[in-house]
Structure 1
Amino acid sequence: MILPDKYISNSESLLGISSFVLSVLKAKTLPIETIWKDFQKKYIHTMKLKNPPTYQKFILTINFMYIAGMVNYSENGMIFNENIKAHH
Structure 2
Amino acid sequence: MILPTKHIPQNEALIGVGATVLAHLSGPMTVSGLWERLRSERNVGTFERFVLATNLLFLIGAVDIRDGLITRRDT
Q: Tell whether the structures are fold-level matches, with TM greater than 0.5.
A: yes
* Corresponding position of 1:13: 13
| Structure 1 unmatched ranges of 5 or more | 44-48
Q: State the 1:40 CA deviation.
A: 2.2
* Corresponding position of 2:46: 54
Q: Distance in 2 between matches of 1:3 and 1:79?
A: 23
The structure with the larger Rg is: 1
* Corresponding position of 1:30: 29
What do residues 4-55 of structure 1 show as CA deviations (whole Å, max 9, x unaligned)? 11111111111100110011102x00000000111124x2xxxxx3x54210
Q: What is the TM-score with the length of structure 1 in the denominator?
A: 0.77
Q: What is the TM-score with the length of structure 2 in the denominator?
A: 0.89
* Corresponding position of 1:77: 68
Moved runs in structure 1, 4+ residues, more than 6 A? none
- Give 3-state SS (helix, strand or coil) of 1:10's partner: coil
* Corresponding position of 2:55: 63
Q: Rate the CA distance shift 1:63–1:52 in 2: closer, same or farther, 3 A.
A: closer
- Identity percentage of aligned residues: 29
* Corresponding position of 1:46: none
Q: CA RMSD in A?
A: 1.5
Q: State the 1:83 CA deviation.
A: 2.1
* Corresponding position of 2:4: 4
